[in-house]
Structure formats: C-alpha cells, structure tokens
C-alpha cells in the first residue's frame, strides 16, 4: 500500500459540508486525476491492458464511510481472473474542530502482487521500481491536494490557508493472517530496492515521512521533494546509508540528476491574510508505526 495524506488547514472548514454538487465535481475529476493515470500506466506495463474502470463509492461493508463530513471512493483494475490487481482510493475527511483542525485528503494505491504476477505470466519482475514508487507518490500528492478537495471547493489552490499544508507519505509491504496471526511482508518482496545499495537496517516493512510545501508548488518541485523524502526514509528507516538526497538517480537508476528548484531552499505561499510569506519546504520523518491502517492513519494528532 502506498498512500499520501494531505492536511489542509483551511480556516472555517469545521463548518463545511460535503454536498451533492461537490461529490459530482469529485467523481468527474477522479478519472483524469494523476493517481488514475499512474495506476493505469502501471497496469498496462504489466500486461493488464484495458479501459480504466469507473470510480465508485466505497461501501461501508468494504470499509468505507459516507456522510456530510466523509467521502470515500475507489477504482479497482482487475487482473485476468477478475481479482483486483490495482486499487486506487480517494478519501476526504472534514475536521471536527476539536481533535482535528485540518481537512484531510488521502490518495492511496493498493497492489495485489499475486494477481499482478499471474497477469505478467512470470515473464517480468512484477515488483515496483524506485522510479515507479516516486511517480506514485507524486501522483497521489497531486490528487490529494488538487482533485479530492473538489468535493468541497472549486479551486483548492485559491482557498486561503491558516497555516502550512502538510503531506504525509506512507508505504507498506502488506500483511496477511495465518491461523489468526499476522504475517508481514517485507518491502523487497514488493519493490526492487537493489538500486539503493545494501540495507543495514532490519525494519523493511514500512516507511513514513511528512513534507511541508505550498499547494501551488510545481510538479517538478513536488518530484524533487518526494525524491528527498524517499531518500531520507531509505537512509534513516531502512538503513540504505549509501543513498544521497536525489537517490543517486544518475548512478543507480539510469536517469538524469534532478535540476535544482526553489524548494531546495525556500518557496512562497500565501497565508490566510493574503500576505506573501516564505517558509522552508522541509521533510520530517514520522515515527515507525505498526498500525498503518488507511482509515485511521493521519488522524492521530491535531492538525
């Protein structure tokens, strides 16, 4: 599971409601959102070629919840046996004004590796590459801040903020229960981590990190921040101490080194007063957690 939780501190959001018109905007935007495009690219690269399935309301029996304050949708791409191979999820939760102070928009992608491997026919490695992980994070981040909030507002970037928006990036290999006991997978089973070098750590099940950046940051700026965030996760949480801030892309992944952008130092954002301020775009590690449940994470502390 790969997910981005965006916390949007919009002033007055505690009094907002998710209305029918907003849901219609969201459902119209999701098929063209960056997450949808990223998921379909992954599916087709692994031999699952088909038209994009529709986004649907996530029913309560499937773990969803719908109300004036919560909206959840999903889009599942089936493998050849009709079992879900890739499932994209979109979730919006309004703050209650007491424990939670920010609108939370979450975009996630679940990958059922067994179904993907069967579709590939054993010809190619079905695991994600590091470059694909970065692309998914960027797509989820853009979907979380630009598409999912359409359920509330027509232009998320134009709404004044009461504080800096935060994006929290998570990745988890997954788990299954055998005789009532959880068996955890390791990230190398789901991703090819060889380009990062040799891991010195033993915690390779999951990772999490938060990034502070303005909503109006460009895609290039977000890509650079995601590279830096994943590099920090790899070094500090997984023990890949040989990586640098750009993941050594030129050396290990065969691509060019990222160009320098303004987020390497400071980037502007507009406060709730409309006055230009300058804040550093920074990444902050999240503590290791064993309970990365998509319906609970991101609500553990006030925002």
Domain with 65 in it: 2-285
**Is residue 163 a part of any domain in this protein?**
yes
**Is residue 301 a part of any domain in this protein?**
no
Q: Name the residue among 202, 200, 204 with its Cα closest to residue 190.
A: 204
**Is residue 299 a part of any domain in this protein?**
no
CB 141 within 8 A of CB 165: no
Q: Is 2 left (phi over 0), alpha (psi -120 to 50) or beta?
A: beta
Q: How far apart are CA 125 and CA 121, in angstroms?
A: 10
**Is residue 113 a part of any domain in this protein?**
yes
pLDDT of 243 reads 83
- Strand segments (E) across the chain: 2-8, 56-57, 70-78, 84-93, 103-111, 166-172, 175-178, 181-184, 206-212, 267-270, 276-279, 282-285
Q: How far apart are CA 58 and CA 42, in angstroms?
A: 22
How far are the Cα atoms of 107, 171, 197, 293 from residue 290, in angstroms, in the given order? Answer: 20, 12, 25, 9
CB 94 within 8 A of CB 73: no
- Containing 190, the helix (H) or strand (E) segment is helix 187-190
User: Domains in the chain: how many in total?
Assistant: 1
**Is residue 191 a part of any domain in this protein?**
yes
**Is residue 297 a part of any domain in this protein?**
no
**Is residue 135 a part of any domain in this protein?**
yes
Is this structure's pTM higher than 0.75? yes
**Is residue 198 a part of any domain in this protein?**
yes
- The token pair that represents 135 in the structure block: 């692309």
Encode the chain (303 residues) as per-residue pLDDT tens digits: 999 999 999 988 989 999 999 999 999 999 999 999 999 999 998 888 778 899 999 888 887 889 999 999 999 999 877 888 999 999 999 998 666 789 999 999 999 888 887 776 665 788 899 999 999 999 999 999 999 999 999 999 999 999 999 999 999 987 665 566 656 788 988 899 998 888 887 778 899 999 999 999 999 999 999 998 999 889 889 999 888 766 654 444 444 444 333 333 333 333 222 233 334 455 566 654 433 333 333 333 334
Q: How far apart are CA 208 and CA 238, in angstroms?
A: 11
């Amino acid at each position: 599971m790969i997910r981005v939780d965006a916390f949007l501190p919009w002033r007055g959001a505690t009094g907002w409601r998710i209305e029918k018109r907003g849901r219609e905007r969201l459902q119209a935007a999701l098929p063209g959102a960056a997450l949808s495009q990223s998921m379909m690219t992954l599916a087709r690269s692994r031999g699952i070629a088909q038209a994009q399935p529709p986004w649907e309301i996530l029913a309560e029996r499937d773990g969803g919840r719908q109300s004036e304050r919560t909206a959840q949708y999903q889009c599942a791409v089936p493998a050849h046996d009709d079992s879900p191979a890739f499932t994209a999820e979109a979730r919006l939760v309004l703050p209650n004004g007491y424990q939670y102070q920010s609108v939370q928009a979450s975009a996630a992608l679940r990958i059922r590796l067994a179904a993907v491997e069967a579709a590939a026919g054993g010809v190619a490695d079905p695991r994600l590459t590091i470059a694909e992980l970065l692309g998914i994070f960027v797509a989820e981040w853009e979907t979380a801040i630009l598409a999912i909030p359409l359920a509330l507002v027509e232009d998320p970037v134009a709404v004044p903020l009461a504080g800096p928006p935060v994006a929290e990036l998570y990745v988890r290999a997954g788990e299954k229960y055998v005789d009532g006991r959880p068996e955890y997978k390791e990230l190398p089973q789901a991703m090819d981590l060889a380009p990062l070098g040799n891991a010195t750590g033993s915690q390779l099940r999951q990772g999490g990190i938060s990034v502070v950046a303005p909503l109006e940051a460009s895609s290039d700026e977000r890509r650079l921040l995601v590279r830096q965030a994943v590099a920090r996760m790899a070094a500090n949480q997984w023990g890949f101490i040989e990586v640098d801030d750009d993941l050594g892309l030129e050396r290990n992944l065969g691509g060019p080194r990222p160009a320098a952008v303004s987020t390497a130092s400071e980037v502007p954002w507009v406060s709730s007063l409309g006055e230009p301020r300058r804040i550093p775009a920074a990444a902050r590690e999240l503590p290791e957690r064993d309970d990365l449940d998509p319906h609970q994470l991101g609500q553990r502390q006030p925002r």
